[in-house]
């Protein structure tokens, strides 16, 4: 057996031996707690003070157990709660005792930021022991809500229900009252209900968390170990009905372009639409939208890649965010992590994205083209039944988009995006209380005729998946099998075959063959993962966890019409193992030691990649955090780096990372991050340094500033161009030095918990400069210098914006390629006033500034100077927006 295969096996066995030796081989047996509620007999005023006579109908619950830092011990301050209900609402009151009420931290923040002291309520109203609705109230009055899925391994802060809460500080500590409409929960129609229930309290100054139902950290689960809420009788079915009309008014100001009829210096528009929810049953909700406003309040961060891979941006639009846990379908999702983890069957940013086509303009022509495809309407049917069926169906139609072209007083239109229908259907079934889960997904994209030589006319994908737990959900095996099928013209399918994700034209690849007559393309993929997420722990709370698995993508797999896929034609193996210390010892509150390794092949059997990683993370007793890691990459071959001509061997190397976070409870704290990579043979070098400063001078005011500089140098193997001359193809590469500088500033001021002023700004610059050009000679040669032929100074010259080559050793072959250097500058910022004037109803006042100047020629100015001179130039675009929504709730 090769040594590089023996090492990971020995390391895993060693870590397992250490964990077993340190374990006391006992596991805490926990009694599931119950709380009995009663029906409300009289009025309760929601003022945060549970002093009404109605609260005396039930007893105080309590007897909390510390979860962090001293797991299993009594909390430093006791907590009590009461629960009542009527026909429409669930009422929860709590008393958070505190011997030093002046020390209670009342920090404020935006919704879902969880500032200061708080109490969190988790309700498993499905009682499926996998999902829960979470409601958190900070002592400052800030409300936070999340949808919990995958037994507590996924917390979605994008869920924003309507609910009501108040908090109050007194001489004994602080109290709170919460009122949750039953219409915001999901439950069955049984006459007496039993719900899973959990309450967690955070004491900010101690960074202490205690829970009503003790759930050992080594269990690896959450919802399935909740206590139970009993006594809910005769609750009528509340079918949620909500209507949320909106209206927006926007004006844009920018620099006028003489002669361009579409750039007059000002644009104005008014828009209106309607979002709605209707409960088909109490479990299943239909969301719909008419003329939706899918604009984003906060801009995407600037990203530029020169390696050919596409950028991924998070979804921020409310319609697509809600219930996304049901529609989420990762192809891998490994604990080890890797580029393959970003692949999705459904990537909602494809809907309403930028048009695929831009008109080619002649001299004297001007065009007005939409920046994003308009969404005519969308509907979503989702929920979970009492029998364990999770259902999600999404349908959306985008508008046919035209660009208007003006020339000498005449106008014509050109298609830039055809009308398109997007469809997603997701189904899952819980068996044996969620210990077994099976599911499937189907997606479809259908486009009208137009741009037929560019886009697929039809694109379908689907998959089946399973998850099996055993031994109290500490061991698992999970997997999936997916497929894709696309149809289109010969030109469209040829474009797909030769795209960066597939590269069927690559030489010396027996597993693929380019076929210019194809009108369809099909592929498959899949993953299997086996692991342990909890188990018996030792005296220090240490528990051994691991996961190993395999994920594959066939050469023909194509997901990018409605999904997200970085590349196909890969077989990836991954293994992660960790020894986690979850109780305080020595100077640590907790600590983790992790090991990872990765291997990769293509479908032709070519070995592509191997890497080994060890990392450690710790939280200290003074609440500082730090971590470090070392990655050894002994072998690396890329099928993509040369854009489809050949595979190329890339330099092996070592990477090291380190970070430190000072005590985040303080008014001022800092995050320092460092990463450096060294390639062997002196062929690659890079670093990434970052510093962030957080300052909270007032409970209502938070300021953050961060700066990041990255540098990447590759001596010879960065792709530049592929040229063909006299039946000879040359793949041109070169040395590249890329510097990137990014600054980000945020200011958040909470006037009240429901009235917030926020500012965000990010200037960004990246500049890759190329030199020492060469062509690929023997790309898989073991020795780095044998892979390329470097042009001699007498063979290459620069004239009129392009490099001209006249090779001497190959019979005076002549060709040219464009200068690849560029300087990209961007500045994005916005100032937002958000007022939730009524529960679920909001008013936004927004000023946004965007500036992406043409700074491509500014290659010699120092990077900070170029950023300053260009990012804040006058050609920026200023947008002023007013948006009002009103949420009608039945």
Beta strands in 254-333 (DSSP E): 266-279, 284-290
Give 496-558 as a 3 state SS string. Answer: HHCCCCCCCCCCCCCCCCCCCCCCEEEEEEEEEEEEECCCCEECCCEEEEEEEEEEEECCCCC
Cα of 101 vs its chain's centroid, Å: 38
Dist CA 701 CA 720 (whole Å):
48
The 8-class DSSP code of residue 61 comes to B
Say what the alpha-carbon torsion angle 491, 494, 495, 497 is, to the nearest 10 degrees.
160
pLDDT for the residue 298? 62
785 phi, psi to nearest 5 deg: -70, -15
Q: What averages of pLDDT result for each successive group of 10 residues across the chain (890 residues)? A: 42 43 43 95 93 95 94 95 96 97 93 90 93 95 91 86 95 97 87 95 96 92 95 85 90 89 90 87 83 64 88 84 83 94 95 91 89 90 84 94 90 94 95 92 94 90 96 94 97 95 93 95 98 84 93 97 97 97 92 97 96 97 97 97 93 97 96 96 94 96 97 94 89 96 96 93 96 95 94 92 87 88 94 92 92 88 92 83 88
Dist CA 861 CA 768 (whole Å):
13
Peptide bond into 174 cis (omega under 30): no
Instruction: Decide if 504 contacts 513 (C-beta within 8 A).
Output: yes
Instruction: Decide if 284 contacts 381 (C-beta within 8 A).
Output: yes
Q: H or E segment at 301?
A: none
Query: Is 619 inside any structural domain?
Result: no
Cα of 22 vs its chain's centroid, Å: 36
Longest pairwise C-alpha distance within the chain: 100
For residue 812, the tally of other CB atoms under 10 A from its CB is 9
pLDDT for the residue 8? 44
Q: H or E segment at 319?
A: helix 318-321
Say what the alpha-carbon torsion angle 872, 844, 276, 234 is, to the nearest 10 degrees.
130
Which among 557, 484, 488 has a CA at the least distance from the CA of 517?
488
Give the chain's count of helices (H) and strands (E): 5, 49
* Strand pairing category for 154-156 and 143-149: antiparallel
Dist CA 844 CA 298 (whole Å):
12
Give 436-474 as a 3 state SS string. Answer: EEEEEEEEEEEECCCCCCCCCCEEEEEEEEEEEEECCCC
Instruction: Decide if 495 contacts 516 (C-beta within 8 A).
Output: no
Query: Is 526 inside any structural domain?
Result: no
* The two structure tokens encoding residue 845: 């006042």
403 phi, psi to nearest 5 deg: -100, 135
Q: Which residues neighbour 577 within 8 Å (Cβ) at sequence distance 6 or greater?
A: 11, 12, 15, 16, 544, 545, 546, 547, 594, 595, 596
pLDDT for the residue 118? 97
Cα of 744 vs its chain's centroid, Å: 19
Query: Is 226 inside any structural domain?
Result: yes
Instruction: Decide if 377 contacts 395 (C-beta within 8 A).
Output: no
* Structural domain span for residue 49: 31-233
Dist CA 747 CA 757 (whole Å):
8
* The two structure tokens encoding residue 500: 């960066």
Query: Is 63 inside any structural domain?
Result: yes
Query: Is 724 inside any structural domain?
Result: no
Say what the alpha-carbon torsion angle 615, 619, 622, 624 is, to the nearest 10 degrees.
60
- CATH of residue 200's domain is 2.60.40.1190
pLDDT for the residue 238? 75
Cα of 561 vs its chain's centroid, Å: 19
Cα of 653 vs its chain's centroid, Å: 28
Per the structure, how many domains does the chain have?
1
Query: Is 223 inside any structural domain?
Result: yes
pLDDT for the residue 6? 43
β-sheet bridge partners, residue 755: 752, 835
pTM attached to this predicted model: 0.88
Query: Is 239 inside any structural domain?
Result: no
Instruction: Decide if 296 contacts 315 (C-beta within 8 A).
Output: no
Which among 753, 713, 754 has a CA at the least distance from the CA of 736?
713
Dist CA 214 CA 198 (whole Å):
9
Per the listing, tokens 């696309």 go with: 486
Handedness of CA 120, 125, 128, 132 (dihedral sign): negative
Query: Is 265 inside any structural domain?
Result: no
Cα angle at 597 between 593 and 602, to 5 degrees? Answer: 160
Q: Which residues neighbour 521 within 8 Å (Cβ) at sequence distance 6 or greater?
A: 485, 486, 493, 496, 497, 556, 558
Which among 556, 550, 23 has a CA at the least distance from the CA of 338?
550
* The two structure tokens encoding residue 349: 């940013």
Dist CA 525 CA 483 (whole Å):
6
DSSP codes of every residue in 358-390 = -----TT-EEE--SS--EEEEEEEEEE-TTSEE
pLDDT for the residue 855? 86
Dist CA 801 CA 818 (whole Å):
7
Dist CA 301 CA 296 (whole Å):
12
The 8-class DSSP code of residue 150 comes to G
Give 803-826 as a 3 state SS string. Answer: EEEECCCCCCCEEEEECCCCCEEE
């Amino acid at each position: 057996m090769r040594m590089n295969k023996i090492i990971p096996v020995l390391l895993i066995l060693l870590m397992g031996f250490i964990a077993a030796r340190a374990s006391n081989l006992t596991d805490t047996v926990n009694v599931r707690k119950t709380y009995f509620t009663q029906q409300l007999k009289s009025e309760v005023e929601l003022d945060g003070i549970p002093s009404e006579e109605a609260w005396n109908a039930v007893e105080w619950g309590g007897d909390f157990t510390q979860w962090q830092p001293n797991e299993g011990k009594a909390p430093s301050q006791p907590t009590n709660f009461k629960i009542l209900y009527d026909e429409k609402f669930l009422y929860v009151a709590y008393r958070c005792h505190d011997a030093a009420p002046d020390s209670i931290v009342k920090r404020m923040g935006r919704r879902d930021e969880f500032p200061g002291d708080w109490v969190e309520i988790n309700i498993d109203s499905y009682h499926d022991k996998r999902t829960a609705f979470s409601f958190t109230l900070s002592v400052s009055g800030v409300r936070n809500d999340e949808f919990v899925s995958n037994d507590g391994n996924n917390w979605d802060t994008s869920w924003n229900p309507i609910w009501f809460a108040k908090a109050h500080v007194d001489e004994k500590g602080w109290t709170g009252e919460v009122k949750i409409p039953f219409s915001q929960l999901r439950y069955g129609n049984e006459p007496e209900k039993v719900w899973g229930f959990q309450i967690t309290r955070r004491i900010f100054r101690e960074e202490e968390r205690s829970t009503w139902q003790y759930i050992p950290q080594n269990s690896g689960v959450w919802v399935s170990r909740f206590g139970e809420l009993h006594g809910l009788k005769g609750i009528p079915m509340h079918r949620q009905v909500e209507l949320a009309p909106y209206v927006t008014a926007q004006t844009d100001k920018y620099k006028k372009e003489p002669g361009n009829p579409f750039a007059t210096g000002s644009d104005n528009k008014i828009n209106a639409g309607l979002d709605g929810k209707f409960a088909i049953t109490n479990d299943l909700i239909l969301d719909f939208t008419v003329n939706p406003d899918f604009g984003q309040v906060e801009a995407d961060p600037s990203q530029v890649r020169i390696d050919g891979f596409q950028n991924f941006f998070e979804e921020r639009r409310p319609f697509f965010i809600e219930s996304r846990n049901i529609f989420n379908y990762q192809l891998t999702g490994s604990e080890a992590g890797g580029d393959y983890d970003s692949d999705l069957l459904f990537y909602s940013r494809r809907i309403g994205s930028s048009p695929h086509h831009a008109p080619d303009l002649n001299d004297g022509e001007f065009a007005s083209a939409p920046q994003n495809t308009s969404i005519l309407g969308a509907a979503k049917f989702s929920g979970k039944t009492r029998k364990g069926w999770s259902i999600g169906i999404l349908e959306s139609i985008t508008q046919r988009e035209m660009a208007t072209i003006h020339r000498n007083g005449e106008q014509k239109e050109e298609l830039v995006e055809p009308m398109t229908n997007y469809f997603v259907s997701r189904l899952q079934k819980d068996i044996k209380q969620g210990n077994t889960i099976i599911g499937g997904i189907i997606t479809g994209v259908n486009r009208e005729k137009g741009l037929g030589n560019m886009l697929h006319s039809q694109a379908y994908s689907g998959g089946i998946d399973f998850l099996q737990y055993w031994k109290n959900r500490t061991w698992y095996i999970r997997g999936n099998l997916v497929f894709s099928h696309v149809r289109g013209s010969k030109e469209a399918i040829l474009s797909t075959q030769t795209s960066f994700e597939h590269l069927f034209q690559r030489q010396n690849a027996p597993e693929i063959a380019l076929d210019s007559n194809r009108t369809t393309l099909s592929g498959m993929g899949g993953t299997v993962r086996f692991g342990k997420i909890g188990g018996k722990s030792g005296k220090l709370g240490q528990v051994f966890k691991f996961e190993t698995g395999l994920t594959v993508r066939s050469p023909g797999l194509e997901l990018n019409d409605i999904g997200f896929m970085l590349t196909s034609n890969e077989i990836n193996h991954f293994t992660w193992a960790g020894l986690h210390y979850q109780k305080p010892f020595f100077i640590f509150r907790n600590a983790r030691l992790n090991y990872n390794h990765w291997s990769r092949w293509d479908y032709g059997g070519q070995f592509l990649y191997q890497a080994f990683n060890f990392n450690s993370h710790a939280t200290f007793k003074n609440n500082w955090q730090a971590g470090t890691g070392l990655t050894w990459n002994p072998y690396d071959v890329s099928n993509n780096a040369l854009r489809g001509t050949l595979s190329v061997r890339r330099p092996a190397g070592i990477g090291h990372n380190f970070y430190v976070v000072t005590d985040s409870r303080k008014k001022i704290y800092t995050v320092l991050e460092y990463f450096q990579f060294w390639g062997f043979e002196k062929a690659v070098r890079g670093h990434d340094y970052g510093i962030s400063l957080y300052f909270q001078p007032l409970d209502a005011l938070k300021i953050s500033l961060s700066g990041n500089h990255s540098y990447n140098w590759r001596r010879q193997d960065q792709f530049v161009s592929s040229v063909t001359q006299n039946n000879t193809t040359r793949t041109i590469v070169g040395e590249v030095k890329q510097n990137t500088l990014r600054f980000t500033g945020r200011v958040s001021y909470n006037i009240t918990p429901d009235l917030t002023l926020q500012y965000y700004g990010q200037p960004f610059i990246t500049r890759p400069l190329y030199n020492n050009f060469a062509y690929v000679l023997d790309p898989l040669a073991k020795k780095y210098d044998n892979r390329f032929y470097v042009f001699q100074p007498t063979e290459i010259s620069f004239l009129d914006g392009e490099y001209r080559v006249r090779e001497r050793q190959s019979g005076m072959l002549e060709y040219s390629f464009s200068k690849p250097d560029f300087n990209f500058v961007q500045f994005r910022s916005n100032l937002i006033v958000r007022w939730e004037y009524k529960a679920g109803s909001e008013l936004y006042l927004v000023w946004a500034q965007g500036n992406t100047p043409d700074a491509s020629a500014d290659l010699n100015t120092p990077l900070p100077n170029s950023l300053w001179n260009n990012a804040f130039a006058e050609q920026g675009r200023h947008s002023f927006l007013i948006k009002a929504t009103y949420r009608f709730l039945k």
